[in-house]
Amino acid sequence: MTDVPMRQYPGQPPAAAQQPAELHAAYAAPAAAPAEESVRAREALTRLRSEVAKVVIGQDSVVTSLVIALLCRGHVLLEGVPGVAKTLIIRTLSAALDLDHKRVQFTPDLMPGDVTGSLVYDARTAEFEFREGPVFTNLLLADEINRTPPKTQASLLEAMEERQVSVEGQPRLLPDPFVVAATQNPLEYEGTYPLPEAQLDRFLFKQTVDYPSLEEEKKIIATHGARKETMEPSTWGVKRKADAKQIAAAMKAVTEVRLVDEVIDYVAALVRGTRENPDLESGASPRAGAMLAGAARSRAAIDGRDFVIPDDVKMLAAPLLRHRVILSPAAEINGRKVEEIVTSIIEAIEAPR
């Protein structure tokens, strides 16, 4: 097999002479030192992940996805069997954030108004007044979202895309930031309603929460097996580490992260690759490319860079694309899985170097 020649970019040293730091530098342009406020915000986010680790053992990629979603105003769907800490991850993150947060347990009898709010008649004033639902918050935990019928699931569509809800034709703005962190059980479980494609597309990431490794499971047993108190983050010493001002500063830092043309080409190639694969009936939309670029910029900002490298894109591609594609009938008959097809597309498309 012949070696594929390494692509060269303007101002890049010869391939043989490049070291990892120089490879990163190939995507960076001279820039001013980051503002002190941005540095403090990045440090707060690092502390935030450390606070979550006090309670949640493992699942670092899930926590990172939630932080990235917060920075680029995205939403995250966590899927996994019961007992793998899906809800605990979100509750612990909420406790470490100085933001308003609320939880909704989605059940078969939940109505749309229970989520968005509704008009209530006040006999004292003889008028209808709007009573806000739990969606009016910064971080909404939508627990077991696929246990409620499509009508109630759809109550979040407008909120997730337009950051507002309409009740009786009157739009009402939601707080900023607004992030939906939803959990769902695998679709094979009884009593579940699959989320429609339009709603799945509104989630920045779909993260699969897997079983822990052997060492992580031993640590979970040792840490939580003898506890006497309830599983509340506050009882484990979780403190608030990032406030609204620091999060706003981190969001501003994300807008200043740069994308070179080669990385833009790579993002486009990954998204278009899902549309050209014969095992997929429907590929990712152009919105997926914009979201992938935004998520990569957030990841770069968290790492303290003001430029995106291909690894930022590659690491986030699978959780961002896996819920935006649909298997072809032939692939379903052959027992193919979306996960393996998306992974094969990512591996087949060469990242710029």
Q: How does DSSP classify residue 99?
A: S
CA distances from 39 to 26, 33, 34, 117 (A): 23, 10, 7, 39
User: What is the residue-averaged pLDDT of the chain?
Assistant: 85
Write the CB contacts of 81 (distance below 8 Å, at least 6 apart in sequence). 185, 186, 211
Peptide linkage before 13 cis (omega within 30 of 0):
no
**What is the share, in percent, of the chain residues with pLDDT greater than 90?**
48
Helix (H, G, I), strand (E, B) or coil at 17: helix
Burial 214-241, CB ≥16 within 10 A → b, else e: eeeeeeeeeeeeeeeeeeebeebebeeb
| Per-residue pLDDT tens over the stretch 124-173 | 888 888 899 999 999 999 999 999 999 899 889 999 999 999 888 889 99
Distance CA 74, CA 71 (A): 8
The yes-or-no verdict on residue 64 having pLDDT over 50 is yes
pLDDT score for 3 = 39
The yes-or-no verdict on residue 191 having pLDDT over 90 is no
- pTM of the predicted model as reported, rounded to 2 decimal places: 0.83
Distance CA 300, CA 207 (A): 19
Domains in the chain (CATH in brackets) are 32-252 (3.40.50.300), 257-353 (1.10.8.80)
Task: Of 325, 309, 326, 208, give the one whose Cα is nearest residue 267.
Answer: 309
| Per-residue pLDDT tens over the stretch 10-28 | 333 343 344 455 556 666 6
| Per-residue pLDDT tens over the stretch 249-259 | 888 889 989 99
Write the CB contacts of 232 (distance below 8 Å, at least 6 apart in sequence). none
Distance CA 129, CA 123 (A): 10
Task: Of 150, 160, 154, give the one whose Cα is nearest residue 181.
Answer: 160
